[in-house]
């Protein structure tokens, strides 16, 4: 620090163009004092290597559907090894915003509508990433819950809702996993842009939570020099103008930048470098003290030192790593299997080995790697549902049925998508889309498997919750023609299922990544139990959700009203007594489980619930024991139940195990703006069950 000039300090506080064009974010080196470049790469579903490939893991919502945080840690470590193989130091993951709006185009990148489940996965992912000496970046801080108007919209949200719903995952990443970096959101919170939000950046994140890493802006998400510097933003990314970055790295060589019309869905065109010359001017004028800059530089350097980057060679400390290894491929497959949720099964699954299968679906011949945006990954290998079923089925006929669904990409704006299956040949593919042929195949087969999907992308929210194109029509027609119909959903979140009563089974596979075909076949044929449970609620219609009112989504006059408060997701369904189509935590198994009588023990401020679980079926299976808390006499309005713990057990036929879940005092607390976290005196009911609506037992405990 003592040897750095002001120019050199400022160089460490904003990005620049990577001379190798290999990084999404790049902070230039200062070789004379042994400070290497700091290179950043996108996640959270794999490494989005510029011009390279990596393992394409299932979407974050699929990972959360496993209800197995150990898998999040393993995936985090795997992605970090691949980031190192690409010469990167910082992974821009995990994304852990709460799923508030079912229409949000980026829900697939997040974990859950529940803060506790999100927190468990955020902390585990950060631990995994940083176990391989790569800096994790938890994002997008905070209340970034929609893509519509994301650069200007202000979340009008209460302190209590922030504390109970939107901050817990970030708090866990800091307090439990010691995350190295935090990325601010584009949106405003209660009128102030997050890059300029001193109460949330300095007072809460740094002072209260004890975050000692560095805070970076989202790309072109820095709104000021003086305000952001004083508020607690440490690094402006990417530090160059939007036009400079876009034209330098995304346009084909034969395209004149002057001819490009940038879409309105992309960020406002800031001048860039707000932490460069403008910040220097602010220091020289006395608007910002140089000690503020010193504090930011120290955070950057201490984080680099913590991860062994200081004194490394000038190319950024590139070292080791693994890329597309067998263990990474196997992990991607395992997550895809365990994240598959069996929503409905009326005897159709698992499939018989000798059954003739009709595989129908507009995009079933392509792996569904993810949604559009900065999380797009280009894998070395991939398997589609067609690939997977043809490998297993005695007989499998594929028919598209209806025209292919276009898959959007944020990078389509530049004429070059990044990572997803190309849709350039969609018109040619539509030539073989015959509904009559699909119905003929379904009628002749023993079982029809219909693969349908949505289309979601960063920068846009969905207009409604219906499946795009003619897919609903396709499902109903096939169900009418086939003896048995199994529907496979490939979605980034909840969708409407108007045909659900017409089909025999429904699987939710989310965006299953590069191993989709293998994983789907393994579940369909019963090689593996569908291990997933819903991390969010499936309503029957869009009006079921708390954001159905236009002032709550998409908002008006650049403001969105969070007046539902803490009643998000299943909490809202419970309060309003709305019957969901499939509740939070729901998921069937090929096994059957019997719960015994629960017991509860208290040790100081800790309460442990223990319940015996037996597999009474004839197949091995996975059960997720969920514990919800209800305050029986709350002094403030509280949800009828809140998830506060869970445990996964795997049981062979006839096997019995005791599942134990320990709750600390925080599990019973609510937030009071004047008093902070409060545990009311009185009785609490602990609800033990398979989902938020399938409660198997209740026990009572008193706290004071």
Question: φ, ψ for residue 662 (rounded to 5)?
Answer: -105, 130
Q: What is the dihedral of CA 50, 73, 166, 513, to 10 degrees?
A: 50
Task: Give the whole-angstrom CA distance, residue 530 versus residue 525.
Answer: 11
Q: Which tokens go with 324?
A: 């597309």
Alpha helices (runs of H) in 238-310, residue ranges in sequence order: 242-249, 277-285, 290-306
Residue tagged active-site, from 18, 196, 218, 454: 218
CA torsion sign for 21, 24, 27, 30 is negative
Tokens, residue 89: 């130091």
Tell me which residue of 213, 233, 215, 214 sits closest to 224, measured CA to CA. 233
Ramachandran quadrant class, 278 (left: phi over 0; alpha: psi -120 to 50; beta: rest) = alpha
Strand ranges inside 493-574, DSSP E: 505-508, 559-561
Residue 463's CB: how many other CB atoms inside 10 A? 8
Exposed/middle/buried for residue 678 (C-beta within 10 Å: 0-12, 13-18, 19+) = middle
What sign has the CA pseudo-torsion 471, 473, 476, 479? negative
Q: Which two tokens stand for residue 136?
A: 């994790």
Active-site residue flag, 365: no
Element (H, E) at 398: strand 395-399
> Among 591, 597, 697, 599, which Cα is nearest to 649's?
591
Rama region for 482: left / alpha / beta (φ>0; ψ in -120 to 50; rest): beta
On whether the CB atoms of residues 636 and 619 are closer than 8 A, the answer is: no
How far apart are the C-alpha atoms of 546 and 539, rounded to whole Å? Answer: 11
Helix (H) or strand (E) holding 334: helix 326-338
Edge-to-edge strand ranges of the sheet holding 559-561: 192-193, 188-189, 154-156, 559-561
- Tell me the torsion sign for CA atoms 349, 351, 356, 359: positive
Residue 139, classed as helix, strand or coil, is: strand
Query: Which tokens is 95 given?
Result: 């994304």
- Long-range Cβ pairs for the range 31-35 (8 Å, 24+): 31/314, 33/3, 33/4, 33/8, 34/310, 34/311, 35/301, 35/304, 35/310
* d(C-alpha 272, C-alpha 128), whole Å: 33
Q: 539 and 93 in contact (C-beta within 8 Å)?
A: no
Distance of alpha carbon 52 from alpha carbon 325, whole angstroms: 15
Contacts of 417 (CB under 8 A, 6+ apart): 372, 376, 409, 411, 423
Spatial distance between the Cα atoms of 315 and 307, rounded to a whole number of angstroms: 15
Show Cβ contacts of residue 422 under 8 Å, excluding neighbours closer than 6 positions: none
Q: Kindly list the catalytic residues.
A: 218
């Amino acid at each position: 620090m003592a040897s750095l000039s002001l120019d050199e300090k400022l160089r460490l506080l904003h990005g620049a163009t990577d001379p190798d064009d290999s990084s999404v974010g790049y902070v230039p080196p200062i070789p004379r004092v042994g400070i290497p470049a700091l290179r950043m790469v996108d996640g959270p579903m794999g490494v989005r290597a510029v011009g390279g490939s990596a393992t394409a893991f299932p979407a974050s919502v699929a990972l959360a559907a496993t209800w197995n945080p150990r898998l999040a840690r393993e995936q985090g470590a795997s992605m970090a090894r691949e980031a190192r193989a690409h010469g990167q130091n910082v992974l821009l993951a995990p994304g852990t915003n709460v799923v508030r709006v079912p229409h949000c185009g980026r829900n697939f990148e997040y974990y859950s509508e529940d803060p506790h489940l999100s927190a468990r996965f955020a902390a585990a992912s950060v631990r995994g990433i940083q176990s391989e000496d790569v800096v994790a970046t938890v994002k997008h801080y905070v209340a970034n819950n929609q893509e519509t108007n994301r650069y200007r919209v202000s979340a009008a949200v209460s302190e209590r809702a922030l504390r109970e719903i939107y901050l817990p995952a970030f708090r866990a990443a800091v307090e439990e996993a010691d995350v190295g970096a935090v990325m601010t959101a584009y949106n405003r919170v209660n009128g102030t842009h997050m890059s300029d939000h001193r109460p949330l950046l300095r007072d809460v994140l740094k002072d209260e939570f004890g975050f000692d890493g560095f805070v970076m802006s989202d790309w072109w998400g820095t709104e000021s020099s003086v305000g952001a510097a004083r508020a607690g933003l440490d690094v402006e990314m990417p530090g160059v103008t939007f036009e400079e970055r876009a034209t330098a790295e995304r346009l084909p060589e034969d395209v004149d930048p002057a001819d490009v019309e940038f879409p309105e869905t992309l960020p406002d065109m800031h001048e860039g470098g707000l932490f460069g010359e403008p910040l220097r001017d602010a220091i020289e004028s006395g608007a910002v003290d140089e000690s503020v800059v010193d504090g930011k530089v120290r955070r950057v350097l201490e984080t680099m030192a913590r991860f062994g980057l200081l004194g490394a060679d000038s190319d950024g400390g590139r070292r080791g790593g693994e890329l597309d290894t067998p263990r990474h491929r196997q992990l991607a497959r395992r997550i895809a299997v365990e994240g598959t949720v069996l929503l409905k099964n009326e005897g159709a699954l698992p499939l018989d080995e000798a059954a003739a299968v009709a595989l129908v679906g507009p995009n079933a011949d392509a792996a569904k790697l993810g949604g559009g945006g900065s999380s797009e990954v280009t894998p070395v290998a991939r398997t589609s549902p067609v690939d997977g079923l043809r490998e297993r089925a005695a007989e499998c006929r594929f028919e598209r049925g209806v025209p292919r669904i276009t898959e959007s990409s944020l990078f389509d704006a530049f004429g070059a998508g990044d990572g997803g299956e190309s849709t350039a040949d969609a018109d040619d593919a539509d030539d073989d889309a015959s509904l009559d042929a699909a119905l003929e195949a379904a009628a002749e087969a023993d079982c029809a498997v219909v693969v349908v999907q949505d289309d979601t992308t960063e920068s846009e929210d969905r207009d409604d919750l219906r499946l795009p194109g003619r897919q609903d029509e396709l499902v109903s027609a096939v169900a009418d023609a086939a003896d048995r119909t199994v529907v496979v959903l490939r979605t980034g979140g909840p969708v409407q299922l108007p045909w659900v009563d017409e089909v025999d089974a429904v699987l939710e596979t989310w965006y299953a990544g590069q191993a989709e075909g293998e994983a789907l076949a393994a579940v369909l044929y019963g090689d593996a139990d569908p291990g997933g449970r819903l991390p969010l609620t499936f309503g029957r219609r869009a009006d079921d959700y708390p954001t159905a009112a236009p002032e709550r989504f998409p908002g008006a006059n650049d403001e969105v009203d969070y007046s539902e408060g803490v009643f998000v997701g299943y909490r809202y369904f419970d309060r309003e007594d709305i019957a969901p189509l499939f509740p939070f935590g729901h998921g069937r198994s090929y096994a059957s489980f019997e719960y015994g009588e629960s017991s509860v023990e208290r040790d100081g401020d800790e309460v442990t619930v223990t319940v015996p679980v037996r597999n009474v079926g004839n197949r091995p299976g996975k059960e997720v024991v969920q514990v919800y808390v209800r305050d029986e006499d709350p002094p403030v309005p509280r949800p009828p139940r809140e998830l506060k713990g869970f445990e996964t057990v795997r049981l062979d036929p006839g096997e019995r195990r005791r599942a134990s879940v320990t709750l600390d005092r925080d599990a019973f607390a609510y937030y009071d703006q004047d008093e902070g976290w409060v545990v009311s005196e009185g009785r609490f009911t602990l609800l033990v069950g398979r989902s938020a609506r399938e409660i198997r037992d209740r026990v009572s405990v008193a706290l004071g």
